[in-house]
Chains A and B, each alone.
Chain A
């Protein structure tokens, strides 16, 4: 199973050429960009949500501060109103009508003031605005706040929302500011209680005119956690909605997270001076989240587009980069098939240009070398052919056969048999089954056969000696390299001599080379001729009767076979003799 999967993966891999330069560039480009984009998106997102939350908190706080300021001044106004009533009551020449006028005017100006009442110590109404049918069932003296103010007349008390019971037929919801007033009559302290009832119009206006997001709102609680104002007061009263008023009560001014409704909300608490009230602003975190969702969508959109664009771009860029390389690749493929007639158009970026140039040079060089090899091979064949031809030189054959016939006529049968055997050996080794390389032993055997034949022809004209290091006999050498040298030595060295000629042949090792040495004690060669020997076709020098294969041929064959450092070296001194050194590698093929 896994093998199958692996196979499939491998197929996909090969099919898509995932490791091609273009794809590698595209992939790495894409992943790097993807990573970068992710990092940017995520940090952007965090940045946004953090600042959104901070902004929400700050703006909520600012709004709450503003409302608090307004409420403070509202409460201060109410305090001032009760101050006016108080100062009027405590003035030396208290005039009830004057106070009544003040109250009338105030009631006309202030639509939020429902009722203003001054109670006597016994709970009787001294003055009220408006005047109406008082509720006989309402005994103010039983009220906690009234008792409290009689005991501590310097205090003021804010009463949380309650139903006003002052008049018989009217029960509006009000908040009240109650204060004690003390004045002295005949040195006796007399305590009065003033009460100002306010409706919620002004408070509501102050709290409703601000917006804390779509669903956020402001509520006010008193020092006991009672709801003073709430935009959904009726729902609070009906128990359909609750607020975490107790929590808000214990909080210092500031912003807090609140989740008592199960929703995440930011609760901002702020005190209102004098009254002991607290303003609580509620803003919903999920509204920020809604914005965040929108923002997320936006980021995602942009990221996706950027990725798409980036993939496209990296595809084209990598295509542009890899195109010249691909061109090079196809050309190399052609090279693989053996087509050397190619040349790459040199263009593209710096490195690719260099590469193309180098490739072109390389191809040209290979082509040149190939041609050179072909020429060399050709020449090698030619020289070998020549060498072979030399062995079956008709002149030599004729002379040899002539000698055999001559020996036969003189009934020198032993000589005949030696000659024929030598001739046979000569040809066997020359051919040597077409092998170009033979052992040194065979080569020497060949030379001996040749010398045997020549010695019969030339009689006692020369002697020869072969000195060989027997360990070298099995070493390999190019065949037929000694015979042309010896032929030369006989023809041009020793045969013109009046005395007996001597030809010395030696084979020795010389470091990593094998040295063949053929020396004679002939006339020698003049330097002029010597300098041309290995350069010119030697046929002109040899004249008829020679094998036609000169030293040059041997020299070239050795060099072609083994390299330039090998070959012939001719040392000659006129009237002293000539030595030819042949060097081949010790480890020749």
Chain B
């Protein structure tokens, strides 16, 4: 009897051990499934977004996640962007990093993603939703304020200006205007002659600037609120031979803008940090997938540069995306 009891005891022990070791083995061998994160931006090919992509890819490499980078070729193609988000949802992406073309139109599709337990992280341009909580990008109000300060520094506290805005209703647009006006309100002698909207199109901006110069020949400066507006204005200024007469205070640092800045066509630029947006967007998306707590708003910062300070070593790093020299996005063909 006792023998049988002992044997059964030992058998039970053996089974237990096998079980434990099985669990142990599983936990050792277990490997994570490849996480897939969709990064959908406003414009797939514009230089600003290329740097965002570099950041996203760097983060993807660091955290070992698959990154699919996409976006319409035209920032106004909201429909296309909605389709891309839909496709990401259909592909069961683990998370979506979104730079919304429109702060209203993208809300529904973002909510659909959330309802399917796909975290949505917005970068650069957020959406008007209480549910999508995380936003990573420039503090646009602050950037607008810096833009105003740069204007005062370069043109003076007594001048006539035209504001070259981009898309009325876009969150970043409104916020930059708000910040700009906040600074300008402090200077009584700065007169805002007109606010025009270029719809994020260089040609439109150029044409509008030409019109403006004809209309208000005595303006001192044009303040561009994004890269398209600034570039278009600079082109018009060159075309109209007004370089130096009408100063340009602009936004972003596309290679073309940088070139204009070096040639003193543009006097000052407020530079964002697109690499950080891409990197942090993916980083927080990854953390959201792992159900970690992520911050609601992350300000990636903005810096004012001019012809001289752009080559300061700390600014070089912001203005010129680092490359190994073989594929140089700053070289304009």
Binds A, one of B71-79, B198-206, B242-250, B325-333: B325-333
Say yes or no: A237 contacts B322, CB within 8 Å: yes
Contact with B along A113-139 (1 / 0, CB 8 A): 010000000000000000000010100
Chain A residue nearest in CB terms to B324: A200
Segment at the interface with B among A4-12, A227-235, A450-458: A227-235
When each residue 500-528 of chain A gets 1 if its CB lies under 8 Å from chain B and 0 otherwise, what string results? 00000000000000000000000000000
Give the interface SS of chain A, mostly helix, strand, loop or mixed: mixed
Q: Which of A114, A173, A294, A301 contacts B21 (CB 8 A)?
A: A301
B25 at the interface (CB under 8 A from A): yes
Complex contact A172–B21 (CB within 8 A): no
Q: Which 6 A-B pairs have the closest CB atoms?
A: A199-B325, A237-B317, A200-B324, A238-B275, A234-B322, A301-B21
CB distance from B138 to the nearest CB of A (A): 13
User: Is the CB of B227 closer than 8 A to any CB of chain A?
Assistant: no
Q: Interface digits, A316-337 against B, CB 8 Å rule (1 contact, 0 not)?
A: 0001000000000000000000
Complex: A229 Cα to B98 Cα, angstroms: 31
Q: A171 contacts B326, CB within 8 Å?
A: no
B34 contacts A by Cβ under 8 Å? no
Cα A307 to Cα B14 with chains together (Å): 10
Contact B273 A297 (CB under 8 A): no
Q: Is the CB of A235 within 8 A of B279?
A: yes
**Chain B residues within 8 Å of A135, by CB:** 262
What A residues does B318 contact at CB under 8 A? 237-238
Which residues of B, 1-53, contact A by the 8 Å Cβ criterion?
Answer: 3, 6, 10, 13-14, 17, 20-21, 24-25, 27-28
Residues of B within 8 A of A305 (CB): 17, 21
Chain A residues positioned under 8 Å from B322 (CB to CB): 161, 173, 233-234, 237
User: Is there a chain A Cβ closer than 8 Å to B142's Cβ?
Assistant: no
Is B313 in contact with chain A by the CB < 8 A criterion?
yes
The contact sample of 9 A-B pairs, CB cut-off 8 A, is: A163-B311, A172-B328, A174-B325, A201-B326, A234-B321, A234-B322, A240-B279, A308-B14, A319-B3
B324 pairs with A201, CB closer than 8 A = yes
Say yes or no: is A315 at the interface (Cβ < 8 Å to chain B). yes
Q: How far is the CB of A104 from chain B (nearest CB, A)?
A: 19
Q: Are A232 and B259 touching (Cβ within 8 A)? A: no
Q: Which residue of A lies closest to B316 (CB)?
A: A163
Q: Are B328 and A163 in contact (CB under 8 A)?
A: no
Q: Identify which of residues 198-222 in chain A touch chain B, using a CB-to-CB cut-off of 8 Å.
A: 199-201, 204
**A301 x B24 contact (CB < 8 A):** yes
* Cβ-neighbour of B28 out of A114, A233, A297, A308 (below 8 A): A297
Whether A234 contacts B10 by the Cβ 8 Å rule is no
Q: Is the CB of B279 within 8 A of A238?
A: yes
Q: Is the CB of A304 within 8 A of B331?
A: no
A102 to B325, CA, bound (A): 22
- Give, as a whole number of angstroms, the nearest-CB distance from B133 to chain A: 22
Closest residue of A by beta carbon distance from B2 = A17
Please report which residues of chain A, range 287-314, place their CB below 8 angstroms from some CB of chain B when the two chains form the complex.
Answer: 293-294, 297, 300-301, 304-305, 307-308, 311-312
Chain B residues 234-290 with CB under 8 Å of chain A are 255, 258-259, 262-264, 273, 275-276, 279-280
Tell whether, in the assembled complex, residue B311 and residue A165 are in contact, meaning their CB atoms are under 8 Å apart: yes
Q: How many residues of B are counted as interface, with CB atoms below 8 angstroms from the partner's CB atoms? A: 45
Question: Residue on B with the closest CB to A290?
Answer: B28
A319 (CB) vs chain B CBs: closest residue? B3
Residue of B nearest to A302 (CB): B21
A232-B62, A305-B17 as given contacts; A169 in contact with B324, CB under 8 Å: no
Residues of A within 8 A of B317 (CB): 237-238
Q: Which of chain B's residues have a CB closer than 8 A to the CB of A252?
A: none
Give the distance in Å from the alpha carbon of A162 to the alpha carbon of B310 in the complex: 12
Interface 1/0s, chain B 304-324, versus A by CB < 8 A? 000100010100111111111
Q: Is B55 in contact with chain A by the CB < 8 A criterion?
A: yes
Please determine whether A240 and B328 come into contact, CB atoms closer than 8 angstroms. Answer: no
Residues of B within 8 A of A (CB): 3, 6, 10, 13-14, 17, 20-21, 24-25, 27-28, 54-55, 58, 62, 255, 258-259, 262-264, 273, 275-276, 279-280, 307, 311, 313, 316-326, 328, 330-332
Q: Which of B273, B320, B332 has the most CB of A within 10 A?
A: B320
Q: Which residues of A sit under 8 angstroms from B259, Cβ to Cβ?
A: 168-169
Task: Decide if A204 touches B10 in the complex (CB within 8 Å).
Answer: no
Are B279 and A308 interface neighbours, CB within 8 A?
Answer: no
| Across-interface contacts of B14 in A (CB, < 8 A) | 308, 312
A3 CA to B253 CA, complexed, in Å: 85
Residues of B contacting A204 in the complex (Cβ-Cβ under 8 angstroms): 324
Let me know if B325 and A137 touch, CB within 8 A: no
A539 an interface residue at 8 Å Cβ cutoff?
Answer: no
| A320: min CB distance to chain B, Å | 12
Nearest CB in chain B: distance from A115 CB, A: 11
Which of chain A's residues have a CB closer than 8 A to the CB of B331?
169-172
Docked pose: A294 CA to B24 CA in angstroms: 9
- Besides A173-B325, A238-B276, 18 more A-B contacts (Cβ < 8 Å) are A111-B326, A171-B328, A172-B323, A200-B324, A201-B325, A234-B55, A234-B58, A235-B55, A235-B279, A237-B318, A237-B322, A240-B275, A240-B276, A240-B279, A294-B28, A297-B27, A305-B17, A305-B21
| Most B Cβ at <10 Å: residue of A163, A199, A233, A315 | A163
A239 within 8 A of B: yes
Q: Are A114 and B55 in contact (CB under 8 A)?
A: no
Task: Tell me how far the C-beta of A212 lies from the nearest C-beta in chain B, rounded to whole angstroms.
Answer: 15
Contact digits for A153-170, partner B, Cβ 8 Å, 1 yes 0 no: 000000001110100111
A170–B323 Cα gap in the complex (Å)?
13
Q: Measured between alpha carbons, how far is A174 from B313 in the docked complex, in Å?
A: 13
Q: Are A315 and B6 in contact (CB under 8 A)?
A: yes
Q: Is the CB of B325 within 8 A of A172?
A: yes
**A173-B320, A235-B58 known; A137+B28 contact, CB < 8 A:** no
Select one of A171, A240, A300, A315 contacting B10, CB under 8 A. A315
CA of A237 to CA of B258, assembled, Å: 18
Docked CA distance A235–B300 (Å): 13
Nearest A-chain residue to B319, judged by Cβ: A163
- A169 with B54: CB separation less than 8 A: no
- Please indicate the chain A residues that have their CB under 8 angstroms from the CB of B24 in the complex: 297, 300-301
The closest CB in chain B to the CB of A232 belongs to B58
A200, B323: Cα distance in complex, Å: 8
- Decide: A297 near B25, CB < 8 A? Known: A172-B323, A238-B273: yes
Give the CA-CA distance A307 to B317 in the complex, in Å: 61
0/1 interface trace, chain A 269-292, chain B, CB 8 Å (1 if under): 000000000000000000000000
Cα distance, A137 to B260, chains bound together (Å)? 12
**Contact with A171, one of B27, B258, B273, B275 (Cβ below 8 angstroms):** B258
User: Within the complex, which residue of B20, B264, B276, B307 is in contact with A239, where a contact is CB–CB below 8 Å?
Assistant: B276
- In the complex, what's the smallest C-beta–C-beta distance from B86 to chain A, in angstroms? 31
User: Assuming the A-B contacts A294-B28, A311-B10, are A172 and B330 also in contact, with contact meaning beta carbons closer than 8 angstroms in the complex?
Assistant: yes
Are the C-beta atoms of B328 and A238 separated by less than 8 Å?
no
Cα-based distance from A450 to B219 in the complex (angstroms): 174
On whether the beta carbons of B323 and A173 are closer than 8 Å, the reply is yes
Cβ of A174: which chain B residues have Cβ within 8 Å of it? 325
Q: How close is A294's CB to chain B, nearest CB, in angstroms?
A: 5
Specify which chain B residues have a CB less than 8 angstroms from the CB of A238 in the assembled complex: 55, 273, 275-276, 279, 317-318
In the complex, the chain A residue whose C-beta lies closest to that of B5 is: A16
Cβ contact within 8 Å between B330 and A171: yes
Minimum CB distance partner of B277 in chain A: A238
Q: A174-B325, A304-B20, A308-B17 are in contact. Are A234 and B275 (CB under 8 A)?
A: yes
> In the complex, A112→B326 CA distance in Å?
9
CB proximity to B under 8 Å, residues A144-190: 161-163, 165, 168-174
B320 touches A301 (CB 8 A): no
* A293: min CB distance to chain B, Å: 7
Q: Establish whether residues B328 and A170, one from each chain, have CB atoms under 8 Å apart when the complex forms.
A: yes
Q: Which residue of A lies closest to B54 (CB)?
A: A234
Contact A163 B320 (CB under 8 A): yes
List chain B residues, Cβ under 8 A from A319.
3
The closest CB in chain B to the CB of A234 belongs to: B322
CB distance from B32 to the nearest CB of A (A): 13
B332 near A169 (CB under 8 angstroms)?
yes
- A308 touching B13 by the CB < 8 A rule? yes
